[in-house]
Structure 1
């Protein structure tokens, strides 16, 4: 797929590539917006469920506090020991002489919501002036009993089943409430599932799979649709190129695709028929001119030979020579640019080797050098390309003594540069040099048709011939032939 650079972004050139790129961007934008809205609603729902679970947990804590307060002071440690020995409780509860100091986890939105809900429920039940702390602590920093023991230092039956959830190890909610002077109730617990970790979850894996698969299927269907719709356009482009090369002029292009493409195909067929008719009429016209003019010119030459006045005879002969030169030049221009031959794979390396071979011999009329090679054959008219490149080489040798050829070939275009060592062309005459019979001052050789014919042949192949004066002197003629239709 061909790309072009837009700034630093590579943008595909083809219609299929651009449609797929725009579709992908639209899918990603739509899925991002919908996923953001869905995730926002999901987190809001999860936060509401988390607050509800935290309030329920707080009511359970309040029931524990109420139960312990109803017991005599001497029975409270014994009941707590029995609860720890039996295991299976939601809470780890102990009585301490003072509140334990532990590193507190950095509060997040969810942690703040839980702490606020628990604090609110407990103060509503126990009184607003109760001395109490509610905080989240990591399992590694958790301290238990007055001695500040770590979690792993306790028997597993005492606390591990209530305060650990391997391998997650979520934060522990520690609530410390003053029961009486010098007596603090210590309650440690985990939040119930699915809010144990308190982390805000991203998009679920199922949602990501759905986005990926839906994007792939949509791109596949869009690609098939664009490919199906672009086939008539490719046929139209191929027919236009073949028509420019003179291939199958009378054969109409196959019409298909959407209504707009069908309309373009019909218009192209109409245009193709008109151009074919025009070319046929032009060929017939110049054939008639060739036939009609040569006879009277020959007759006039015979009559001039019968004149007794040699000076007058010379003047008439000069005018007839000029007239015949103009007729031959016009006919040659039409003949050389309207070459009727089939399109084939042309070996450009072999073609150029044949063109420059006569000039490599010692008795040659000039010196030619060639650098570079064509990567692969070119789809075009062999005779026309030979005439085009031959005219460029002949022009360089005729006006610049030596010709230096260089080939630059890639997957997109074939470029042939021909440098000479002549005087060059004035900048204001660059375009005029391609006109028929135009010559610069001091140039009297030929008909002045070589560059014009070469450019016409290049145009028929979708290419171009351009001129550039070299800084060191001489003229550079560049032939560019596109390969995108090979």
Structure 2
């Protein structure tokens, strides 16, 4: 199944058109075949009536005159029937009987018996031109003079089957009559779908798919603009409102998107102002409380108050750092990820605590400080809980992937999602605020990417940072 809306619409249209055209063609062909069969039987009955007239004429002739009349007919040529008198029925290899041939044979026999009498011994068969025999001596059609039978029994290059009727006139006397069915019934085989109908189906399907493709492309252009605007919104880019265009439904989506972007922008501004105010309002009373604690004479009470104030200050700093690190107001610009990684791992190269494998293929558009903090948090987390960090870069036309492997104990699978939550630490982990992985994931999400965890079979934890590339970025990567 195609992934794009255009591909799915074209596939669905093709299936519907093919099914509809196929069904209508089957109905049309069945009606055509029925009308053809009706015309074929009418033509066969007409030919049979003409044949009975010829048979009645030969029966009325004296026995001695019959060969003379036949010789005169053969000399004249161009007769509708090829007639001969034989002393026995000729044995020929007949063609396989199909429903159409059987219908013609039955119609012939019915007319002949009605006109000549039910007691007449009659044989009606279809024979191929190459198997046809005409006289007692078994002469083939090619062995006779062309004026005798070729013009009546051949229709090159079609070579249709020959209808052979043998009627017993008396003891040792068989009347042999061979003829072709008239046009357009020379071919008795029911063909498949006519070529004209197949061409018509192909032509109409092509134009319908072309128009559907243009229509879907025209209607999806606003959706593509909305997708690009949504990506820029997730990156925090300052862009003008999206132009509302397309169908009424797409216009409604664009209008709702612009309203949503305005509300989000207003919310982010208010949140930034709120946390700035909170930071200012909380630091002042905490500092004032510390000064008052210093004036206490009871050292034990002073220690308890100091510990509570330290925890309170730690919580405030952690919350402010979480907001600050995940909501950085930066402009989007091309980032040399190789330079960022070199800057982050340079202090650890001497101690061999960090190794790097692979290089980025092209610059990545994003927020420089945010991505630097994201990758730095992943490296710091690996060094803090796994002693060493092994970095592997996988860059392609679809996206940038950074794998950070450590040599630590790993994270239980049931708790791998919990470690992304603020202030969550595993047993034995008491360093920091517990915000590193959560901040890294939030920054990745703001760039349309993801941060995932997986325990390695040989031991340690693998943290994978995936950042997708847009269509324009893929061209740059593949063309490099």
Structure 2 length as normaliser, TM-score? 0.91
Establish whether residue 38 from structure 1 lines up as the match of residue 24 from structure 2: no
Check 1:171–1:354 CA distance in 2 against 1; reply closer, same or farther (3 A cut).
Answer: farther
Greater CA deviation, 214-223 or 130-139?
214-223
* Matching residue within 110, 133, 150 for 1:143: 133
Equivalent residue number for residue 198 of structure 2: 208
Asked if 1:324 is matched to 2:276, the reply is no
Q: CA deviation at 1:411?
A: 4.3
Tell me whether 1:477 sits opposite 2:467 in the alignment.
Answer: no
Residue 275 of structure 1 is matched in structure 2 by: 264
Compute the displacement of 1:127 (Å): 0.7
1:349: how far off?
Answer: 4.0
CA distance in 1, matches of 2:361, 2:325: 27
Count matched residues. Answer: 472
Structure 2 residue runs without a partner (length 5+)? 474-480
Q: Tell me whether 1:355 sits opposite 2:341 in the alignment.
A: no
1:399-438 → structure 2 map (5 Å cutoff)? 399-438=385-424
Match of 1:387 in 2: 373
- Of residues 238-247 and 183-192 in structure 1, the stretch that sits farther from structure 2 once superposed is 238-247
CA distance in 2, matches of 1:466, 1:390: 16
Structure 1 residue 395, shift from structure 2 partner? 0.7
Query: Cα offset for 1:345?
Result: 3.8
| Secondary structure of 2:129's aligned partner | coil
CA deviation profile, 1:307-352 (whole Å, cap 9, x unmatched): 6666666555544444333332222211111112223343444433
Please name the residue that 2:273 is paired with: 284
CA deviation map 1:391-450 (0-9, x unaligned) = 111110111011122334444444322211112223443233222233333323222211
Other-structure match for 1:456: 442
> For residues 246 and 184 of structure 2, what CA distance do their matches in structure 1 show?
55
- Deviation track 1:208-262 (CA, whole Å, cap 9, x = no partner) reads 222111111111111122222222222222222222211126x322222222222
Whole-angstrom CA distance in 2 between matches of 1:296 and 1:277: 29
Correspondence 1:62-101 to 2 at 5 A:
62-101=52-91
User: What's the secondary structure of 1:17's corresponding residue?
Assistant: helix
Say whether 1:58 aligns with 2:58: no
- Give the Cα–Cα distance (whole angstroms) in 1 for the partners of residues 291 and 149 of structure 2: 131
Q: C-alpha offsets along residues 67-110 of structure 1, whole Å, 9 cap, x if unaligned? A: 22222222211221121122111221111110001111111111
CA distance in 1, matches of 2:185, 2:201: 26
Pairwise CA RMSD of aligned residues?
Answer: 2.3
Q: Give 1:190's aligned residue.
A: 180
- The correspondence for 1:118, drawn from 108, 113, 116, is 108
Aligned residue for 1:342? 331
1:244 aligns with 2:230: no
Normalized against structure 1, the TM-score is what?
0.90
Cα shift readout 1:346-374 (whole Å, capped 9, x = no counterpart)? 344443344333322x2x4x522333444
- Once the two structures are TM-superposed, the CA of residue 482 in structure 1 deviates from its matched residue by 3.1
Q: Deviations over 1:20-70 (max 9, x none)?
A: 111111100100010000000101111111111111111221122122222
Name the SS for the 1:12 alignment partner. Answer: coil
Q: 2:98 aligns with which of 108, 113, 120?
A: 108
